[in-house]
Amino acid sequence: MDLTLSTCFVLVHDPDLALAFYRDGLGLELRNDVARGDFRWITVGAGSQPGVGIVLTNYLNGSPADNDTLEALIAKGALNGVHFQTGDLDGAFEKVRASGAEIVQEPTSQAWGTRDFAVRDPSGNLVRIDQRPTA
């Protein structure tokens, strides 16, 4: 079986704040913005990966109790978001820091060989960005 990643979903509480973070703070491009009632599905992605999209959505599919639980987890920042790579970790960190994002971890060399940093998006989802080690 030959699989490639097409789309991943990130739950957010405020689609406008999420769009500002992912587009303006991280530099992703806006690809689609679909609204239906109170819900939105905003697709963003890296220009270098046109076949991979990240859908930012406030749609929670489940029972009322499931929705309450998920909303509480989002509010606590207990959900992981996405993990990106860059060729310029320090430049990416400065851009994200300048956007006002909540810094969880400044650029750090990790024991497993990479150097990375972590931030939270406006909904509390953890976003990590790393730079592969040079040979």
Q: Are 125 and 12 in contact (CB under 8 A)?
A: yes
Residues 80-97 have a mean pLDDT of 94
DSSP letters for 10-55: EE-S-HHHHHIIIIIIT-PEEEEEEEETTEEEEEEE-TT-TT-EEE
Residues 82-86 have a mean pLDDT of 95
What's the whole-number average pLDDT of the chain? 91
Banded pLDDT at 135 (limits 50, 70, 90): low
Amino acid 8 reads C
Would you state the pLDDT for residue 29? 98
Greater pLDDT, 22 or 78: 22
Would you state the pLDDT for residue 61? 76
Greater pLDDT, 75 or 51: 51
